[in-house]
Amino acid sequence: MQTVEIWGFLLVPVGAWLGALLGPYLKKKGENLATHEDLQKLVTQVEAVTTATKQIETKISNEVWDRQKRWEVKRDVLFEAIRRTSEIDNALRKIKAMLQVEAENPLKEDDSLGQLARAQSRNDVTNKWLSASTEFEETKLLVAVVCENETREAFDVLGAYVNIIAAEMTTKGEAEIYDRMYGEVSRKILGVRAAVRKELGVDKVETEKGPPEKSGEPRLNS
């Protein structure tokens, strides 16, 4: 019994000493462990934010690229459409010119060479018209895919009207039909150009820039 009491008596100061010695160590160890866990959480959070940021950047980049490519396709289609509008107008003028020549220079029935040359001329003019008309129809299909309804309708109206004029002239053989109806054709061509400018945002850019300054006009001090 005395031995146990002695050992108990000895262990108390030893335990106190060990507690005093190990206390700060264990506390520091706990703090380090907590700090490590906090750092690990922070690293995980940073990695998550980085991943999310990259995903957002990729999405934005893809959306911008897609939007840019769509705009480029629309631009190319409209540039080609304007070119083909000019071509179909020129083909219509050639029909008029051909009919004027035929009216002003009638051929005799026995003029086989003249008749042959005239037939060849008619064939060339007809082929140019058919080619321009076909290409314009192809353009209308592309415009319908990439443009607004207003632009599509402007091209549709123009195409229908020039076909009517061409049919009238070739059927009746009258070049004057062109002159009588061309005022409306000009308005429809202007409508097409206005629709194209709107699609490309040309008028909007010019409006934002403001009208150009005229030379000789006094400038207001800012």
Mean local confidence (pLDDT), 78-89: 93
Residue 195 lies in a domain: yes
φ, ψ dihedrals at 152, nearest 5°: -60, -45
The band of 215, judged by pLDDT with boundaries at 50, 70 and 90, is: very low
Residue 220 has a pLDDT of 35
- CA angle 93/102/127 to nearest 5° reads 50
**Residue 36: inside a domain, yes or no?**
no
User: CA 58, CA 64: separation in Å to the nearest integer?
Assistant: 10
| pLDDT value of position 31 | 58
Q: Residue 86: which of 122, 132, 47 has the closest Cα?
A: 132
* Contact criterion met (CB below 8 Å) for 139 and 80: yes
Question: Taking each helix axis from N to C terminus, what angle separates 176-200 and 2-104, rounded to the nearest 10 degrees?
Answer: 170
201: left (phi over 0), alpha (psi -120 to 50) or beta: left
E-state strands within 69-150: none
Domains: count for the chain: 1
Within-domain flag for 42: no
Q: CA 105, 107, 113, 115 torsion: positive or negative?
A: positive
Please count the CA atoms within 13 angstroms of the CA of 127 that sit on its side-chain side: 6
Q: What CATH number did the domain enclosing 129 receive?
A: 1.20.120
Supply the range of the domain harboring residue 72.
67-206
pLDDT tens by residue, 157-208: 999 999 999 999 988 888 899 999 889 999 999 999 999 999 998 876 454 5
Asked if the structure places residue 114 within a domain, the reply is: yes
Say whether pLDDT at 155 is over 90.
yes
The pLDDT of residue 100 is above 50: yes
98 in a structural domain: yes
Query: Token match 């005229």: residue?
Result: 214
What is the average pLDDT score of the chain?
76
Of the candidate ranges 46-55, 64-73, 99-108, 168-177, the one whose mean pLDDT is the lowest: 46-55
Q: Determine whether 112 is exposed, middle or buried from the number of CB atoms within 10 Å of its CB (0-12, 13-18, 19+).
A: exposed
The verdict on residue 83 lying in a domain is yes
Is residue 56 situated within a structural domain?
Answer: no
Whether residue 187 lies inside any domain: the answer is yes
